[in-house]
Amino acid sequence: MDSPRHFLQLKDLSRDELDYLFERTRIIKARFKTYQRHWPLQDRTLVMIFEKASTRTRLSFEAGVQQLGGSAIYLNTRDSQLGRGEPVEDAAEVISRMSDMVMIRTFEQDIIERFASHSRVPVINGLTNEYHPCQILADIFTFIEHRGPIQGKTVAWIGDSNNVCNTWLQAAEIFGFDVHVSTPPGYEVEAERAGLYGTAHFKQFADPMDAARDVDLVTTDVWTSMGFEAENEERLRDFADWQVDAEMMRAARPDAVFMHCLPAHRGEEVAAEVIDGAQSVVWDEAENRLHTQKALMEFLLLGRVND
């Protein structure tokens, strides 16, 4: 049996494969918008395992696989044996014999790596503490739709150096753009945890205004990610000066777009006037989770197709 292709972090796909995915996303999105049936995954089953909450990821995978002609099964830690100590390796052996593809949202990256190493079918990372590769597929596709190629551009990441930030940094290495990161002291990027080959594509700034200056895209995320709730009070204090507000958007290029993976906390990491303002593309970004992940699922199961 050939070993399956997994998507555990963004760099699991090459630049060429990602470019293909975006090209395919355009076709799949256009078909969806015009009600054209596209059922390449007829009779295929996706199992979705959630150890953390979700709105967008669950919806986009469940709707997405159905729109491709397949079906989805939702499992969570609470109602399955996963929450009662069944080894992840055993779960992977069993689940992957009964399905065609698995999407997992969990805590440490190590959990999904262990699952994948015992899985007969492709495994997709639907968010771990370290990475959120499906989010960045949608984000880059959204940027391209609004502004064209991202190569050579500059992105400002303001706030926590979390899973979404790490994945933006991997994307910068793959696509050849720069990321200006500004975090409060003590929350800086850890290059090794981010899975980076080097530091050529990112620059850390003490002052978030400096990070935002003349960039093409400003983005941020919650100050407290899932799994870190115990630190919430401390983080509210530490991140108070790292809000993306209108003044910060004025420091960016006039045609800069604003992105947020959502859910957002208006008045914390982003001011309402920014996320609800003219430069914000967050609803397109959320919608594109659906289209990019449909292209991803098709690719992982069928490889390149040209119908």
Contact footprint for ligand CP (CB under 6 A): 54-57, 127, 135, 261-262
Tokens of 121: 């079918």
Residue 221 interacting partner from ligand CP, ligand NVA, none (CB closer than 5 to 8 Å by kind)? ligand NVA
Q: Which pair of tokens denotes residue 279? A: 């430069």
Between 155 and 222, name the residue whose CB sits nearer to ligand NVA: 222
The closest of 162, 102, 105 to 130, measured between CA atoms, is 162
Residue 288 CA to residue 167 CA, distance in Å, equals: 17
Distance of closest approach, residue 259 Cβ to ligand NVA, in angstroms: 12
Closest CA to 39 of 61, 73, 70: 70
6 flagged as catalytic: no
User: What number of other Cβ atoms are within 10 A of residue 166's Cβ?
Assistant: 28
Based on the residue annotation, tell me whether 15 is a catalytic residue of this protein. no
Contact 134, 125 (CB under 8 A): yes
Torsion sign (Cα): 164, 47, 69, 307: positive
Task: Report what 163 binds from ligand NVA, ligand CP, none; CB cut-off 5-8 Å by kind.
Answer: ligand NVA
User: For residue 166, which amino acid is it?
Assistant: N
Contact status: 111 vs ligand NVA (CB under 6 A): no
Is 255 one of the annotated active-site residues of the chain? no
Q: How far is the CB of 270 from ligand NVA (least distance, A)?
A: 13
Residue in the structure block whose two tokens are 């926590």: 160
The smaller minimum CB distance to ligand CP, of residues 150 and 286, is found at 286
Task: Give me the catalytic one of 135, 170, 243, 293.
Answer: 135
Given 222, 252, 282, 300, the residue binding ligand NVA (CB under 6 A): 222
Shortest spacing between CB 165 and ligand NVA, in angstroms: 8
How many residues interact with ligand NVA (rule CB under 6 A)?
9
What CA–CA distances, in Å, run from 306 to 25, 133, 145, 189, 302?
12, 24, 21, 40, 11
Check binding of 268 to ligand NVA (CB under 6 A): no
Of 51, 139, 216, 221, which lies in the binding site for ligand NVA, with binding defined by CB under 6 A?
Answer: 221
Q: Could you tell me the smallest distance in angstroms from the CB atom of residue 132 to ligand NVA?
A: 6
The number of beta carbons lying within 10 Å of the beta carbon of residue 182 is 25
261 is an active site residue: yes
Q: Spot the catalytic one: 6, 24, 44, 105.
A: 105
Residue type, 159: G
Smaller CB separation from ligand CP, 29 or 56: 56
Report the residue from 67, 106, 163, 182 that binds ligand NVA according to the rule CB under 6 A: 163
Residue 164 found at the interface with ligand NVA (CB under 6 A): yes
What are 200's strand-pairing partners?
none
The torsion angles phi and psi of 145, rounded to 5 degrees, stand at -60, -40
Task: Rank residues 57 and 167 by Cβ distance to ligand CP and give the closer one.
Answer: 57
Query: Of these partners, ligand CP, ligand NVA, none, which one is at the site of residue 55 (CB under 5 to 8 Å by kind)?
Result: ligand CP
Residue with tokens 């499906």: 134
**Which tokens hold the place of 61?**
């995978």
Residues found in the chain: 307
Q: Is 135 a catalytic residue?
A: yes
Grouping H, G, I as helix, E, B as strand and the rest as coil, residue 295 is helix
Residues in contact with ligand NVA by CB under 6 A are: 127, 162-164, 221-222, 225-226, 261
Please give the positions annotated as active site.
Answer: 105, 132, 135, 221, 261, 289
